[in-house]
Structure 1
Amino acid sequence: MSNQWDPGGIFEVLASDESRRILAAASVRPLSAKEFEQICDASLPTIYRRISVLVEYDMLSEEQVVDTESGHSKQYATDLQEINVRVEDGEFTVNLEIRKDTVDKFGELFRDLGEGHRGSVSSEFPDLPSESPTEE
């Protein structure tokens, strides 16, 4: 799966040392905000702001986990696989390659169907028709 984003926004997100450390650490295994706080040596509010932006840009995903000691908590994993920057005809284009598993794709499919977004269904699942079959 890939998304195109405003290059300025991507460059701004990746300019943050904390964002890059969060992405790198979460590519090894899912981590909690408290673990990122220790890894990044930054305040918890800063970590949550960075996490929020990374989730918004689809670079990080959150997962609810059950901890026997503390109850429910969230962990975050890196979804970003690759960033491609293209400079052509006087413009920058940024393309993010995002890792999504089959469960994520089906969840998006059903959400999009419920919202009436047929175009996104065909782009995510090219074998499915994007329009209703016509009767002859």
Structure 2
Amino acid sequence: MKKVILCSLIMLALISMKATAQTGDQATKPVKIGDEWQMPKDVLLRAKNFSESLQKSLGLDDAVTKKVFNAYLGNTKPVDEIRMGQGSESEKKAALVANQAEFDQTLKSILSPGGFAQYIKSKKTGSHWHKNRLMT
């Protein structure tokens, strides 16, 4: 009887460890269901952090910050499709660079000229919000 209980506890522990490991891995990668990508739950948090850090560093008002948030959020699907799609690493890198240029143009239309210049300057110096942006 003791062996059965001990074996059951060990099995339960192994199953829960495996379930925890799968949950952690799924949070970092999007999942494609049919033609739609199901984004990780942290996408909203990353978009919020990116827009709030731009708001603080560039002194954006709430309306512009919301536009930045929406632009970032809208760009997560193309970025994830590139990362998870077919192709070599060099092709994916080139596609990500092109996507970043498009995202920068979107930000250029949202931010003031001075704010956009600050954003570009901080990209070149490697600010924390640009590094977070590349991880999307």
Alignment TM-score, normalising by the size of structure 2: 0.29
Higher helix share: 2
Alignment TM-score, normalising by the size of structure 1: 0.29
For the pair shown, the structure with the greater C-alpha radius of gyration is 2
Higher strand share: 1
